[in-house]
Amino acid sequence: MEMDQCSSKSRVIEFQQLFGSWATLLSRFYDDPKVAQLMKTRIGQFLSSHPFFALTVMLFGAMSAIPVGMFLSFALVTIIMSAVGLVFFEAFLLFVGGTTLLCVLSGIALFSVMVSFIFNALYFPISNILSRYNPNLTKQHDVQEKE
* pTM exceeding 0.85: no
User: CB within 8 A of 35, min separation 6: which ones?
Assistant: 29
pLDDT score recorded for residue 8 = 73
pLDDT score recorded for residue 142 = 54
pLDDT score recorded for residue 104 = 96
Contact (Cβ atoms closer than 8 angstroms) between residue 47 and residue 54: yes
pLDDT score recorded for residue 145 = 56
| pLDDT by position in tens, the chain (length 147) | 555 566 777 888 888 888 888 888 878 877 888 888 888 899 888 888 888 888 888 889 889 999 999 999 999 999 999 999 998 999 999 999 999 999 999 999 999 999 999 988 888 888 888 888 877 766 655 555 555
pLDDT score recorded for residue 70 = 94
Q: How far apart are CA 56 and CA 138, in angstroms?
A: 110
Residue (of 23, 46, 44) closest to 35 by Cα position: 44
